[in-house]
């Protein structure tokens, strides 16, 4: 039977983990570089800055900092004084996951627009933040001749990390179920608008990706053959979760911008040519509920009243 906790196995697993982290660092930075136009639009003021995008930026760049610290730590594992980087790795990676979950939660809050649901999701967010801070405070790193920088209290660290990953998975599942239920109810009552179809299709796929990745990480933590392989699933889980949440934010932002421009074009057309039959336009009432766009003028208004109002 293979001895997962032998010195040779730990050394081999340390090399494997270093390669895994380097691969995911490359994947993540490729994602950041290929989507940098979103940030450029804010710098050029093509997009209006809103508080809702703050978790997006925190999650995006905390993940980058955490991965860089992790790579530096693994590539200099023979230096005892670099163990303090473990604190930065733990803190930044977990904060990035918290903000990614906030991005998911904000999307569900927009869909529901209900005080009770919104308050409940914010309570879950604050509980997640408290768990991250508790894990960071209790985390202590020491130097090990074979394993390099490791936690001084492995069992406690694993319990805390398992609790965090399980809570993250439960959070993702809650947000996913709330979103699916609300969209299903709206489709049954009001029909399926173009924006609703997009939210139900591509948007919810990001939730599923985050949920599955965290489930895999939890599986490795429960298996825990040794201190290296037990956490090897955490890095892909955080990277996938942050990428999925970031794409969800960008996708929804682009979609709302497109719907806004289309609504403005329809309004200009209404002013120039007279009232337009709302039911014959591609912009449905359900779409406007999720984008908070102003409703078009009622088709019973006269042409003159529209011109005067304009």
The pLDDT of residue 222 is: 86
Residue 278 lies in a domain: no
Where is average pLDDT lowest: 11-25, 101-115, 282-296?
A: 282-296
Average of per-residue pLDDT across 297-309: 38
CATH of the domain at 133: 1.20.1070.10
Per the domain annotation, does 56 fall within a domain? yes
Tens digits of per-residue pLDDT, 115-137? 788 899 999 999 999 988 888 77
CA dihedral 53, 58, 59, 62 (to 10 degrees): 160
297 in a domain, yes or no?
no
Question: In angstroms, rounded to a whole number, what is the distance separating the alpha carbons of residues 229 and 227?
Answer: 6
- Asked if the structure places residue 80 within a domain, the reply is yes
pLDDT band at 219 (very low <50, low <70, confident <90, very high): confident
Per the structure, the complete domain to which residue 100 belongs is given by 7-265
Q: What is the pLDDT of residue 148?
A: 61
Taking the C-alpha atoms of residue 137 and residue 131, their distance in angstroms, rounded to an integer, is: 10
Query: When comparing pLDDT for 7 and 256, which is higher?
Result: 7
How far is Cα of residue 117 from the mean position of the Cα atoms in its chain? 19
Query: Domain for residue 281, yes or no?
Result: no
Give the pLDDT mean for 141-160. 66
Are β-strands 148-151 and 141-144 bridged in parallel, bridged antiparallel, or unpaired? antiparallel
* Structural domain includes residue 105: yes
Q: Average model confidence (pLDDT) for the chain?
A: 74
Which pLDDT band, with edges at 50, 70 and 90, does 35 fall under? very high
Q: Give residue 197's pLDDT band: very low, low, confident or very high (50, 70, 90).
A: low
Contact 269, 281 (CB under 8 A): no
Q: CB of 166 within 8 A of CB of 197?
A: no
Residue 2 lies in a domain: no
Beta carbons within 8 Å of 181's beta carbon, 6+ residues apart:
none
Query: How much of the chain exceeds pLDDT 70, in percent?
Result: 69
Q: In the prediction, which pLDDT does 164 show?
A: 87
CA 301 to chain centroid: 44
Domain count, the chain: 1
Lowest mean pLDDT among 123-127, 182-186, 303-307: 303-307
68 within some domain: yes
pLDDT of residue 272: 47
Residue 305 pLDDT > 60: no
- pTM reported for the whole predicted model: 0.76
């Amino acid at each position: 039977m293979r001895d997962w906790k032998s010195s040779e196995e730990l050394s081999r697993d340390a090399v494997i983990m270093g390669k895994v982290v380097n691969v995911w660092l490359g994947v993540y930075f490729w994602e950041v570089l290929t989507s940098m136009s979103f940030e450029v639009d804010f710098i050029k003021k093509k997009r209006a800055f809103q508080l809702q995008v703050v978790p997006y930026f925190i999650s995006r760049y905390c993940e980058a900092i955490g991965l860089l610290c992790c790579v530096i730590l693994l590539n200099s594992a023979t230096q005892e004084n670099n163990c303090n980087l473990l604190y930065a790795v733990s803190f930044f990676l977990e904060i990035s996951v918290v903000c990614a979950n906030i991005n998911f939660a904000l999307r569900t809050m927009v869909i529901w627009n209900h005080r009770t649901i919104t308050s409940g999701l914010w309570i879950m967010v604050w509980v997640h933040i408290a768990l991250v801070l508790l894990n960071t405070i209790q985390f202590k790193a020491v130097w090990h001749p074979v394993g390099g920088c490791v936690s001084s209290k492995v069992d406690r660290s694993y319990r805390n990390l398992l609790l965090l990953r399980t809570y993250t998975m439960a959070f993702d599942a809650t947000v996913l179920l709330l979103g699916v239920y609300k969209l299903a109810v709206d489709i049954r009552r009001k029909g399926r608008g173009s924006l609703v179809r997009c939210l139900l299709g591509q948007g919810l796929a990001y939730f599923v990706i985050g949920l599955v990745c965290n489930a895999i990480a939890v599986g490795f933590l429960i298996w825990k053959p040794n201190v290296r392989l037990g956490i090897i699933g955490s890095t892909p889980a955080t990277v996938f979760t942050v990428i999925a949440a970031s794409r969800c934010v960008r996708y929804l932002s682009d979609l709302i911008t497109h719907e806004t421009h289309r609504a403005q074009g329809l309004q200009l057309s209404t002013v120039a040519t007279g009232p337009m039959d709302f039911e014959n336009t591609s912009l449905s009432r359900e779409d406007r509920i999720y984008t908070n766009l102003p409703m078009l003028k009622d088709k019973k208004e006269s042409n003159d009243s529209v011109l005067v109002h304009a």
